[in-house]
Amino acid sequence: MEAHQESPERPDLAATVEALLFLSPTPASVDQLAEACESDPSEIEAAIGVLDERLGAGPRGLTVRKVGGGWTLATVPGVEEASRRLLAKPRTPPLTQAQAETLAIIAYLQPVSRPEIARIRGVSSESAVASLTERGLIEESGKSRFGAVIYKTSQLFEKVFGLESLEQLPDPSRFDPTPEDERELRERLLSVGDQRIEP
């Protein structure tokens, strides 16, 4: 049987998958890739394996990585400094402390409502929630039984933080706060624990 010859007009499946991952702004699932390539999911999985081997076969700057339930192209370790110099001017301002706190609460307690976030932080979180929603890091996930909008992290959140799933979030038990911070945090979390509004 004559081997299939790759041509510029018709690249092999692994090359097509590489191009699709390059073009996709978010991680693409196997099913999405299979539909785009008009192939079976098993063929896409095999093509991803071939692509991974190709990218790992020599000194390359990219690798294929599974994040957020899909596949994406990512830079290899060791290029961070060069990347920072090239992209020194951020496209968006960094997260404020309020936004970072709010994002952490949503990531670990999701789905969670804005009143719950405010109770945990001790201050209003309306602005932080709005900013995180606008950035695409969180999204609405329905409403609680009391009618409050509840929020969860988005697929973009997992991509930005390089997470394959939320199970890869750092273990909060490894957080090493001062005794004062720990006492305050524990009191806040315990006080809100019995009051959490379930969806």
CB-CB contact of 71 with 64 (8 Å):
yes
Q: Which of 153, 142, 159 is nearest to 197 (CA)?
A: 142
The whole-angstrom separation of Cα 104 and Cα 120 is: 11
13-76 CATH, one of 3.40.190.10, 1.10.10.10, 1.10.3720.10, 3.30.70.1290: 1.10.10.10
Per-residue confidence band for 29, with pLDDT thresholds at 50, 70 and 90: very high
pLDDT at res. 70: 92
Q: Which of 86, 89, 121, 119 is nearest to 102 (CA)?
A: 121
Q: Which fold has domain 97-193?
A: Arc Repressor Mutant, subunit A (1.10.10)
The whole-angstrom separation of Cα 165 and Cα 174 is: 19
Mean pLDDT of 10-27: 89
The whole-angstrom separation of Cα 138 and Cα 188 is: 23
The whole-angstrom separation of Cα 45 and Cα 59 is: 23
Q: Which of 172, 194, 154, 155 is nearest to 69 (CA)?
A: 155
Structure tokens at 22: 């390059």
Residues of the chain with pLDDT > 90, as a percent, come to: 37
Q: Above 90 in pLDDT, residue 17?
A: yes
End-to-end CA distance of the chain: 59
Mean pLDDT of 12-30: 92
Structure tokens at 112: 């969670």
Residue whose token pair is 């090493």? 176
pLDDT at res. 177: 64
Q: Which range, of 34-38, 71-75, 94-98, 153-157, averages the lowest pLDDT?
A: 94-98
Mean pLDDT of 185-198: 52
Q: Above 90 in pLDDT, residue 20?
A: yes
Q: Please list the residues that pair with 38 across neighbouring strands.
A: none
**Residue, of 193 and 31, whose pLDDT is higher:** 31
Model pLDDT for residues 137-187, shown as the tens digit of each residue: 999 998 888 888 999 999 888 888 888 888 888 877 776 667 776 666 666
Q: Where are the domains of the chain?
A: 13-76, 97-193
DSSP designation for 39: -
**Residue, of 193 and 47, whose pLDDT is higher:** 47
| The two domains 13-76 and 97-193 share their CATH topology (first three levels equal) | yes
Q: How far is CA 169 from CA 34, 80, 87, 187, in A?
A: 29, 21, 26, 23
Per-residue confidence band for 5, with pLDDT thresholds at 50, 70 and 90: very low
pLDDT at res. 9: 53
Phi and psi at residue 173, to the nearest 5°: -70, -15
